[in-house]
Amino acid sequence: MTTTPAQGIMPLQGFTVLDLSQGVAGPYCAQLLASQGAKVIKVEPPQGDWGRHVGVAKNGHSTISSTYNSGKQSLAIDAKHPDGKAVILQLAEQADIIIQNFRPQVVQRLGLDNESLRARGLKPVYISISGYGPDGPFADYPATDSVMQADSGLMHTNRDADGTPKRIGMLLADIAAGVYAAQACTAALLHKVRTAEGSHVQINLFNVCCALQSTVFSEEAAGAQANGQAVSAPNGVFDAADGKLTLLALNNEQFLRICKAFELRHWETDPRFASNELRLKHKVQLHAELSQIVARQPLEQLEPLLRRHQVLHARVRDGKSVVEHPQASHLHTFQTIDQPNFGPVVWAAAPWACHAGAAQPAPCIGEHSQAILRDLGLGLHDIADLVARHVVAIGSDAKG
């Protein structure tokens, strides 16, 4: 049974997040917390989070930064400058949660590592996100999403029919790390509410990718899936007259549904197809015959037929088709964010929506710098001085 939170429930309302991270994993973790009501202050250098300048980018925004920074406030500040570091430490004193993805030696030099903050008497929920963890033989290795997909086995898991490893066409390692980090963060926050003690949550992309593939590793260790074959037959993507369709059967009952849908009575009695194990041995023959049948019919004819017989299937959709999916419309899966100085951005909310309000745009670089500094007690003269010395950037003064 699925339950939906009452409209207006914001479970993290009243909590403050100091987001020191850049890119995808840390920002996505913070954005998920923002969508649940937390106040998120994004601290970024005067030139902006590097994610603002990757992919489709314009005027200090990109599809990446807009997607993973929705609803945050931006403070553009030089963390390496002593005065910038002092401001960030003031914000840390007020934060319930701190998120960072610096290399260990960098965050220590800034004095923003968990141990330094605890030595100052602070007890935040502190989230560290790294490629390979804080120590060990690979701790200092670069860990982009592509590197991690290769090194963690994701590319091997995603190899094609010829056995060639393929990169999964999205930032899966980073995105999954953000989701795991957000879940661990809320668990640690609950612990803090109960005990008043902070926690240091350490997430690394390598372990995240391994966790995603736990079943794969178990099967390979047991000697199965050695050639990356499907777990059942028939099971694959077939060309219909006007598109592509994935079609499969995982057990005998589902196999019989395919037989009935396409009137393949001879399949029902053929001893070669009596079990999934036997069907896998004769997969080529099954797929060849099924391909001929599917190719003669358009999707609008195939889909009602397969639904009627409860056959596992789905048309293979591109992004535009998913956005226009009837169920996406029903579930309000997508919103359009009017991102200033960039244009409309199609945005998919977190699967568990805490509120029904419109999605907020990502901030411009330094959009909230002045307001955040005023809240810390700095006067206009002090802020102007920081801006003049290039310690802080404000709105249009930021380097996009």
| Per-run averaged pLDDT (10 residues), the chain, 400 residues | 51 96 96 94 96 92 93 96 96 97 86 95 97 92 92 92 90 96 97 96 96 89 62 95 97 98 96 96 96 97 97 95 92 89 87 67 96 97 97 74
Q: Angle formed by the axes of helices 205-212 and 172-195, to 10°?
A: 100
Q: Angle formed by the axes of helices 205-212 and 214-221, to 10°?
A: 60
Q: What are the structural domains of the chain?
A: 16-215+332-397 (3.40.50.10540), 235-322 (3.30.1540.10)
Strand ordering across the sheet containing 73-77: 199-204, 125-130, 97-100, 16-19, 39-44, 73-77, 392-393
Quick one: pLDDT at residue 4? Answer: 44
Q: Which among 139, 135, 98, 140 has a CA at the least distance from the CA of 116?
A: 98
Distance (Å, whole) CA 393 – CA 108: 24
Burial class (CB in 10 A: 0-12, 13-18, 19+), 8: exposed
Helix-, strand-, coil-residue percentages of the chain, each rounded to 5: 45, 15, 40
Alpha carbon 60 to chain centroid distance? 22
Quick one: pLDDT at residue 106? Answer: 85
Count other Cβ atoms within 10 Å, centred on residue 150: 14
Question: How far, in Å, are 240, 305, 315 from residue 248 at the CA level?
Answer: 15, 14, 12
Helix (H) or strand (E) holding 323: helix 319-323
Question: Is residue 208 a contact partner of residue 244, using CB atoms and an 8 Å limit?
Answer: no
Question: Is the sign of the CA dihedral 300, 303, 307, 308 positive or negative?
Answer: positive
Quick one: pLDDT at residue 10? Answer: 85
Q: Which among 80, 72, 73 has a CA at the least distance from the CA of 102?
A: 80
Distance (Å, whole) CA 4 – CA 81: 46
Question: Is residue 372 a contact partner of residue 393, using CB atoms and an 8 Å limit?
Answer: no
Helix (H) or strand (E) holding 201: strand 199-204
Distance (Å, whole) CA 198 – CA 190: 10
What contacts 248, CB < 8 A, 6 or more positions away? 230, 232, 234, 235, 236, 254, 312, 313
Partners of 336 in beta bridges: 346
Partners of 292 in beta bridges: none
* pTM confidence score: 0.88
Strand ordering across the sheet containing 243-248: 235-240, 243-248, 312-315
Residue reference for tokens 């995808």: 24
Quick one: pLDDT at residue 224? Answer: 60
Quick one: pLDDT at residue 221? Answer: 79
Question: Is the sign of the CA dihedral 172, 175, 179, 184 positive or negative?
Answer: positive
Alpha carbon 313 to chain centroid distance? 26
